Amino acid sequence: MVRRLGRLFIEMFRIALFVVGGGYAIIAVADDVFSRKLKWTKEGELVEALSLFQTFPGIMAGHCAVYVGRKVAGPVGSAVALAAVIMPSLVIFLFVSMGYDAIPIGNRWLVAAFAGLRAALTGVILGMIARSWTKSVRGAYGYVAMFAGLALLLSGVNPAIVLVAAMIAGVAVEFAPRCGSRKFNSLGIVVPVFLMYGALAFGGGYVLVPMYIRDFVGGDASWLQLPAEEFANLMALTQMTPGPIGINAATFFGYRLGGVPGAALATVALVLPGSLLLSLALASMERFSGSRVVKGILGGVRPVTMSLMVSAAWSFAGLSLWTVCDCGFSIDRVALALVAFAVFATIRRILGVMQTIFICAAISTMAALVIHLV
């Protein structure tokens, strides 16, 4: 058993260390490693389990670790695999966070590269929305909930309130007859805040973006008051480093709020709620899946997850596609082309997320060079 646990840790650690592009990429690689190489799972089993992972809050890569670990060595295996997935992100992005201020953000070529990265992220999110739409938005209730959630989010309502309202509405539908200022900068808020994020992250790290924007970007009401461009650059960096975007971002924000202890606590707190819920669900799958309350909660929150992803795409589009100033409204045609390319590449799966992002960054940098020379 010890040898099996050691092999599980090494394989999960290796996947998280070398696979860039977030939880979905990690799941795809893990499915190949644990089915073809180790024969611990059936071929395609982890990809098929995506629908299960998406019905629980938390990070997709963490759910993958819990699922494989439990199948290999029970609850202990889940804990070992989860630790292996978290560790590379925590260590690598902690160093990125500590040296972030030394990155020459004002450099012309780096600015152009980040512009391409932001455009790529916009396209990738839009592509993921297109691929996930039919699974998440179904029937009249799904469309009503999705558009109502989107309207609330765009009007400034707290995403956490929208998700809780969706859960309550989902339970009601399932049982219906069928025919102020809070500026902080301390370690004390890290655990409760990231436990809340982890409990509400239905659909993976991307759905947390609207919450991050509200709580950490600009204005006296945010905890860190990051400039919008710095936040967008940070989101791009989370895709350039190994590990899931949600864990990478949690490490950065936790470090800003409470140093190294804050980074560790934020990372663990983010993955804890969903991992515990998934572990309990896997332990009693038949009874859990038959509960009408649970069906209502999950049915209510799925379409609103699409609202959160659309809201995230809109936020990135505003930072990459257009500019509004006293002289009028202008669209960056290079960024628009890059967004279209990223959408196509994501939907058709002709490139990996990381390949798409690097290609967009390279094209944006070359375009800036051409414009500079001309």
Q: Where are the domains of the chain?
A: 2-89+107-373
* H/E segment holding residue 198: helix 190-200
181 band by pLDDT with thresholds 50, 70 and 90: very low
In 10 A of CB 324, how many CB atoms? Answer: 9
pLDDT tens-digit readout, 311-343: 767 777 877 787 666 666 788 888 899 999 988
pLDDT of residue 76: 93
pLDDT of residue 10: 92
Pairing type for strands 322-325 and 328-331 reads antiparallel
Q: How far apart are CA 83 and CA 96, in angstroms?
A: 20
Provide φ and ψ at 307, rounded to 5°: -60, -45
Please report, rounded to a whole number, the percentage of residues in the chain having pLDDT higher than 90: 11
Q: Specify which residues 61 forms β-bridges with.
A: none
220 band by pLDDT with thresholds 50, 70 and 90: low
Please report, rounded to a whole number, the percentage of residues in the chain having pLDDT higher than 70: 79
Q: How far apart are CA 32 and CA 37, in angstroms?
A: 7
Q: How far apart are CA 252 and CA 367, in angstroms?
A: 30
Q: How far apart are CA 180 and CA 168, in angstroms?
A: 25
CB of 232 closer than 8 Å to CB of 114: yes
